[in-house]
A and B are shown apart, each in its own frame.
Chain A
Amino acid sequence: DAGITQSPRHKVTETGTPVTLRCHQTENHRYMYWYRQDPGHGLRLIHYSYGVKDTDKGEVSDGYSVSRSKTEDFLLTLESATSSQTSVYFCAISQQGTETQYFGPGTRLLVL
């Protein structure tokens, strides 16, 4: 399995609070991604990174920000969590020039 970890694995928070999810990889892959997965929807891309300090928006980026200060870490921040952000969040990585993505174990977030 690809060396990808996510933390925390589970989190319960209240509406309006900030939340930061962490993705850590040991594969030295250039690309990192954050997705959310909800019932009735496929995986939807929130943000992605193509290098240190290089990030871009995905399909559902509103209400989320990201940062990548090191190759191995990609952080997803919910500035002010809302109940609609209750979801399972997956981090993924891919090598430069390839499209196969490898996923982390996911973080289950519940916003009350």
Chain B
Amino acid sequence: RKEVEQDPGPFNVPEGATVAFNCTYSNSASQSFFWYRQDCRKEPKLLMSVYSSGNEDGRFTAQLNRASQYISLLIRDSKLSDSATYLCVVNNRTVGGGADGLTFGKGTHLIIQP
């Protein structure tokens, strides 16, 4: 079974602080990686894709470490509105595999406190 592991938290962080969390994956052949955000009782929404070279989108930075098989998400200058659950998603599609290759982590719960 292809696993994606995340610390469930909750991470309680003061507003304005920097917070980082990691996700590990078990399949070394995984091809692509994503972070989704899910608010309480809402659907998951794509936050960002994760590229091998690392990528940044405003206050959010995602990193991929293939050798150690983990992905990280860094949030700088955290806002109250960043409070949510962050889902790590890994594409385990094999060569010639179908569309069912995405594996979702159980999520990390982040609470930004005023």
A interface residue numbers (CB < 8 A to B): 31, 33, 40-45, 48, 50, 56, 58-59, 90, 94, 99-106
Nearest chain B residue, comparing its CB with the CB of A91: B43
B103 beta carbon closer than 8 Å to chain A:
yes
9 contacts between A and B (CB under 8 A): A43-B44, A43-B87, A45-B100, A99-B91, A100-B34, A100-B46, A103-B43, A105-B42, A106-B43
The main secondary structure of chain B at its interface with chain A is strand
**What residues of B have a CB within 8 angstroms of the CB of A59 in the complex?**
100
Interchain CB contact (< 8 A) of A58 among B44, B100, B107: B100
Residue B84 lies at the interface, judged by CB distance under 8 Å to chain A: no
B45 within 8 A of A: yes
Residues of B within 8 A of A (CB): 4, 32, 34, 42-46, 49, 87, 91, 93, 98-107
What is the bound-complex CA distance between A60 and B59, given in angstroms? 37
Contact of A103 with B98 at beta-carbon distance under 8 Å, contacts A40-B106, A42-B103, A42-B107 already known: no
Contacts of B44 in A (CB 8 A): 43, 90, 103
Interchain CA distance A40-B93 in the complex, whole Å? 24
Q: Is the CB of A42 within 8 A of B98?
A: no
User: Which residue of chain B has the shortest Cβ distance to A30 in the bound complex?
Assistant: B99
* A50 and B98 form a contact (CB under 8 A): yes
B25 shortest CB reach to chain A, Å: 12
Assess whether B105 is in contact with A100, with CB atoms less than 8 Å apart: no
Residues of A within 8 A of B34 (CB): 99-100
A105 CA / B41 CA spacing, docked (Å): 9
Rounded to whole Å, the gap between the CB of A59 and the closest CB of chain B is 7
Residues of A within 8 A of B106 (CB): 40-42
